[in-house]
Structure 1
Amino acid sequence: MDKRPDPGEAMPRSELHAMYGGNRQSGISISAQAGMIHLFSDPIHVESYGMPDGLDEEGIYLYTGAGQKGDQTLTQGNRALLTHKDANRDVYIWRRERQGDYRCVGQFEVDQEQPFISTDAFDADGELRTVIVFRLRPVGELAADAPVVTTTEALAYRGYEEKAAIGGRVRIERLQRRSSRDSEMDLAIRYRAHLERLGHEIRRVQILPPGEVRPFCADLHDRTDNVLIECKASPTRQALRLAIGQLIDYRRFFSPTPRLAVLTGSKPRQDLIDLCSSMTIEVIWLEEDGTFTSSFD
């Protein structure tokens, strides 16, 4: 087929497939007859799942691969996109507009030096999984309103206010309806208020490691005493093991190195308190009367 989409061109998806072929449901739609791969992007879907989608600071388009549940793999549509040059297929990105049409962002090709990045994100069930974020280089001109994402290294370590932090959590809470995240947030807010009444300066911290495209958040940082705190609603072994790993991961991004603490919704078993103490990690828990107790007291 000689006809190729023009950047900025918009049409209903049904018309697009009638013209070029390809699967009408897939996010990565292969049109073998036309020699094209069409990538579809929905801003509402992108916002809900927290997926990177748009041009980064280098002009590379970050596009999250196919697969809504479980770890994404380089199979089917993802593999077809990765190997599109070998199959002589041109790649076009289409972005959904409010009225339901899709507008062509432009033509792209997979970056040869670094075709994709693997990162963490939530799936359709709210479970954490590994996703594939393709790095696509523009071929020719793009639509004037091509979307942009921010991956600046300035995000690598910054504190931000409670209002912004809660706003950033809304998406995650919506994805984790079946989890204890709501309780963990409530616990964090209550402990923060407790520390602030004592005159401590508390922040939530967003961290973006080099090479990642999606930041993660440390629950609380007591800047007065330099203590990094991870919140877990349930004091189970699994929850505390997860908290320990998170704290050790987060700690390397702070200077000076902070002390570590786990905050739980009730007192853990003594064996779990001893586990944390063996690594000099403080355990703080909420008592039934609303006060907080520390294993270091």
Structure 2
Amino acid sequence: MTTLELVPGLVTTREAIAAAYGCGTFQGIEPADEAGMVFVYSDPSAGAEYGYTFDGRAEDDEFGPLYLYTGAGAKGDQKPSGRNSSLITHAEKERELHLFIAHGKVPGSGAMQQRYVGQMVLDPIQPYEQRWAPGADGVLRRVLVFRLRPAPGSTLDEANPIEPATQDTLIELPEPPKASEPVKAAKVPQQTQAKDKQTEQHATAQTTANVTGGKREVIRREGQLVTAFEAHLKSLGHMVKSFQITVKGERGTLVPDLYDATDNALYEAKGKSRREDVRMAIGQLLDYRRHIGAPSGLRLVVLLPSYPSDDVQDLLVAEGIYLVVQAGDTFEGFPLSAASV
């Protein structure tokens, strides 16, 4: 094999990468088993052809820089298997994950150039988000939007931001999106072939290497809470769904946790019942209400794993927002009262 030094900002081709590391050249996720690597090729324009723009650098969150990447599978629901599994299990199998972004055509050729961003790790707390988008056949399907973080010593300086939405859109989802399970804790692979730019020896302030287990548990609890309540509603014959919203000029999507079409009630769940969590849920519900076009009389509901303080409960009453709390196998506050809160 030939050699190729991976330096952020390097512009190369898939063929050159394959010659150096022994991976394929045609898919968006290309494992190189003998080299102990997984290569990810992101091309936001490919999704834009079908009307969605999930790929790109997202806004930094509390854990630092974040890059979103739509998984493998052009038609039908994407699943966490096959090439997507290569990405999900890269840390567990101690394989390096390297991100490239499409960088125009090779002069005088139809081949696409690739710009190297750096070594990544899959977010161990929330590996991917489930979104809905049209496939190559035009049929709406579930897609997996992976959440990539810079590995220690890497940055997202070479990554392009997600393109803003060109129009307001509202997609009714036949069911609430399912939360991904956290990936197994594993030692973050150390960089071997990748090198920092000599003039930019940055280290990310927050990476997956120091994400705490506490946040992992909160997210898992929130997902389990939504799943349990959805099952409860369906057992009573309720029609449950959600929405996927894009806002013109803004990046990313808005997805409410759950909409009960039978009761015309919109729910936002939180994994803890602290004041800051409830305040965030209130803001999200008010924002979603503006966009979903629900029938008149929509009720807003905060779904929690335990009761908040008396004063926070008074806040919900003052804002006309219902409260439902999990209590073992049942949910207190449900069914919702017919009268206004």
Q: TM-score, with normalisation over the residues of structure 1?
A: 0.53
Distance 1:135 1:188 in 2: 28
For 1:47-66, what aligned pairs fall within 5 Å after superposition?
A: 53-55=43-45, 56-57=48-49, 63-64=56-57
The SS at the match of 1:292 is strand
Distance 1:61 1:242 in 2: 24
Counterpart of 2:264? Answer: 226
Specify every segment of 5 or more residues in structure 2 that has no aligned partner in the other structure, as ranges: 13-26, 31-40, 67-100, 105-109, 116-145, 151-156, 184-207
Counterpart of 2:102? Answer: 93
1:160 and 2:174 aligned: yes
Residue 239 of structure 1 and its aligned partner are, at CA, apart by 1.0
Deviations 1:116-172 (A, max 9, x none): xxxxx96739xxxxx984489xxxxxxxxxxxxxx785852322335xx22xx328x
The SS at the match of 2:64 is coil
Would the alpha carbon gap of residues 266 and 44 (structure 1) be closer, same or farther in structure 2, given more than 3 Å must change? farther
Would the alpha carbon gap of residues 187 and 292 (structure 1) be closer, same or farther in structure 2, given more than 3 Å must change? same
Aligned match for 1:272, one of 288, 297, 312: 312
Residue 212 of structure 1 and its aligned partner are, at CA, apart by 3.5
Q: Match for 1:105: what amino acid?
A: M
1:25 and 2:15 aligned: no
Counterpart of 1:293? Answer: 332
Distance 2:250 2:285 in 1: 18
Residue 273 of structure 1 and its aligned partner are, at CA, apart by 0.9
The SS at the match of 2:225 is helix
Residue 44 of structure 1 and its aligned partner are, at CA, apart by 5.1
CA contact under 8 A between 2:162 and 2:251: conserved in structure 1? no
Residue 233 of structure 1 and its aligned partner are, at CA, apart by 1.9
Q: Match for 2:102: what amino acid?
A: I
Counterpart of 1:189? Answer: 227
CA contact under 8 A between 1:187 and 1:233: conserved in structure 2? yes
Counterpart of 1:81? Answer: none
Residue 64 of structure 1 and its aligned partner are, at CA, apart by 3.1
Would the alpha carbon gap of residues 187 and 30 (structure 1) be closer, same or farther in structure 2, given more than 3 Å must change? same
Distance 1:227 1:271 in 2: 23
The SS at the match of 1:218 is coil
For 1:77-156, what aligned pairs fall within 5 Å after superposition?
A: 93=102, 105-106=112-113, 124=149, 133-134=160-161, 156=170
Counterpart of 1:70? Answer: 64
Distance 1:183 1:254 in 2: 26
Aligned match for 1:245, one of 271, 274, 283: 283
CA contact under 8 A between 2:241 and 2:261: conserved in structure 1? yes
Name the one with the larger helix percent: 1
The SS at the match of 1:246 is helix
Counterpart of 2:247? Answer: 209
Deviations 1:224-248 (A, max 9, x none): 1211100112111111111111111
Residue 70 of structure 1 and its aligned partner are, at CA, apart by 2.4
Specify every segment of 5 or more residues in structure 1 that has no aligned partner in the other structure, as ranges: 1-10, 18-23, 32-41, 46-50, 73-91, 96-102, 109-120, 126-130, 137-150
Would the alpha carbon gap of residues 107 and 191 (structure 1) be closer, same or farther in structure 2, given more than 3 Å must change? closer
Q: Match for 2:226: what amino acid?
A: A
Deviations 1:48-84 (A, max 9, x none): xxx9742123999964389896268xxxxxxxxxxxx
Distance 1:30 1:65 in 2: 22
Residue 282 of structure 1 and its aligned partner are, at CA, apart by 0.5
The SS at the match of 1:249 is helix
Instruction: Give identity over the alignment, percent.
Output: 26
The SS at the match of 2:149 is coil
Aligned CA RMSD, in angstroms, stands at 4.7
CA contact under 8 A between 2:271 and 2:305: conserved in structure 1? yes
Larger-gyration structure (1/2): 1
Distance 1:245 1:66 in 2: 19
Distance 2:54 2:223 in 1: 33
Distance 1:59 1:222 in 2: 26
